[in-house]
Amino acid sequence: MKKDFFSENGKIAGLSKRIRAVFDDWNYEEIFLPFMEEYTDSLRGGLKHTDGKRFYLIKPDVTSQIIDRMKQRKTYRYFYFSDYFLGDGSCSIQFGAEFVGANPLQEKVEILQVVASILRAVDVSDFYVDVGSLKHLNEILEKIPERRREAMEALKSRNFTVIEDMNIDEEIKEALWKIFSFRGRKSGIPQLDRIVDHLPEEHFFIDTGTVRYLDYYEDIVFEV
């Protein structure tokens, strides 16, 4: 059955109103970015378009648009709502937030606190947020550059059999298995332990197998 456009629109409007209220409480400012931008190497995602002379991206990744505009290091808090092109050509709605320029620990803890506030605002009380470290993972993957992509995809899909079948050193397999299997509050990875120490233990956990990758991700990633 075809979805009722106006009914769906009403639900989205109601949710976005609640989410915007949370961002307002945390002093985040809404940012509006161009629908189409001239192509640069720093922009990610989007739909490619050309007028015969120049190349453009329609709805590029919002975070890459914001990073592209960072001319000086200062503290700012922004949030956005935006359409997002999916791989199958369809479009979805996404929202996100950027907090830049403060103490790195403060930035990460606050973003995760905002995530929890948003979930509660949309009536989700039973939730878990898993936090991982790409930097820690990359330190191991750098030892197997020829199998790096394959290992990353195996971790993303939680398919450790692929790694077991790789012709790589057993010590590296063991290190990857520890990443794949650990979930708790004390990981021995300082940057992760410090973050969850500032967050409620009933909702936030370290899961070193949490892998989400874009080339501007430097370290901390999370998944609800």
How many Å is the Cα radius of gyration of the chain?
20
Q: What pLDDT, on the 0 to 100 scale, is given for residue 185?
A: 92
> What percent of the chain is predicted at pLDDT more than 90?
30
Whether residue 196 has pLDDT greater than 90: yes
Packing angle, helices 134-141 and 190-197, rounded to 10: 160
Q: For residues 223 and 45, what is the distance between their CA atoms, to the nearest angstrom?
A: 20
* Global pTM exceeds 0.85: no
Q: What pLDDT, on the 0 to 100 scale, is given for residue 186?
A: 92
DSSP 147: G
Contact residues for 52 (Cβ-Cβ < 8 A; gap 6+): none
Give CA separation, 224 vs 119, 194, 197, in Å.
Answer: 10, 19, 18
Whether residue 70 has pLDDT greater than 70: no
Please give the domain boundaries of the chain with CATH numbers for all domains.
Answer: 5-121 (3.30.930.10), 129-223 (no CATH)
Q: What is the arithmetic mean of pLDDT over 141-163?
A: 87
pLDDT band at 217 (very low <50, low <70, confident <90, very high): low
